[in-house]
Every structure is written in C-alpha cells, then in structure tokens.
Amino acid sequence: MSPANDPAKQAVWEIQSTHPALVERVEAAMREVVDPEIGLNVIELGLVRNVALDEEEKKAHVTMIMTTPFCPYAPALLEMTRTKAEESIGQPTSIEMGMELWDLSYMEEGAGADWGLF
C-alpha cells in the first residue's frame, strides 16, 4: 500500500453518517479551493478533517488543517473553504484550524503523482 490513502489516516466527516446526501455536494464545492503553492485542492490534500451539521442551531462547522504549521495562505484557504461549505450546505458555517499535523498519507490516492511522490 502506498503512503497515500492510508485508511487509518483518512478523515471521516460527521455528515457522512448524519447527512449523507450532503457529502457529495460539499466535497465538490471544496474541490474548487486550490492551494496556490501546491496546485492541489483541499480535498485532494486531505486538509478538511471534519464537516459537521448542528440541526439544533442550524449551522455547520468545518475543521481543517494546513500542510505546514505556518502556511502563508492559511487565512485565505480557511475562508475560501468556509465559504464553499456554507454555499453548498445553505447554512451559516464556521471553520477552525485543527492542530493535527498533516502528512502525505492524508492525500487522495494518486494526488501526489504530479510531484513524483507515488
């Protein structure tokens, strides 16, 4: 097994079990958010670690990480991802930057091929 797509490291979003009909739409919207330094989107990179929907408060929450702790594009990537999630879900959405350290195994299968990684 290549380091990419390690099942133990793949994020499982809360909406996958609570609102499965939303997953495809949210994922497609977030694929439009591309890291300008790397040239891959936040889904390919495995940066979106959770998407949850709070029915009671009628809002969504996204948890996301960066590829490096001091990513200069972090504020823009966080806001673009939040906006795309909000548009696709149709509810106010908050976002937080998780403290989990990113590694290559979070990437989708084949996403690192252009880098010569896999």
- Could you state, in order of their start, the residue ranges of all structural domains in the chain? 7-101
Report pLDDT for 116.
Answer: 60
pTM above 0.75, yes or no: yes
Residue-level pLDDT at 69: 87
Q: What is the mean pLDDT of each run of 10 residues along the chain (118 residues)?
A: 54 94 97 95 96 94 95 96 97 96 89 62
May I ask the CATH class of domain 7-101? alpha beta
Residue 60 exposure: Cα atoms within 13 Å on the Cβ side? 26
DSSP assignment string, the chain: --STT-GGGS---THHHH-HHHHHHHHHHHTT-B-TTT--BTTTTT-EEEEEEETTTTEEEEEE--SSTT-TTHHHHHHHHHHHHHHHHTS-EEEEE--PPP-GGGSPTTTTGGGT--
pLDDT score recorded for residue 111: 78
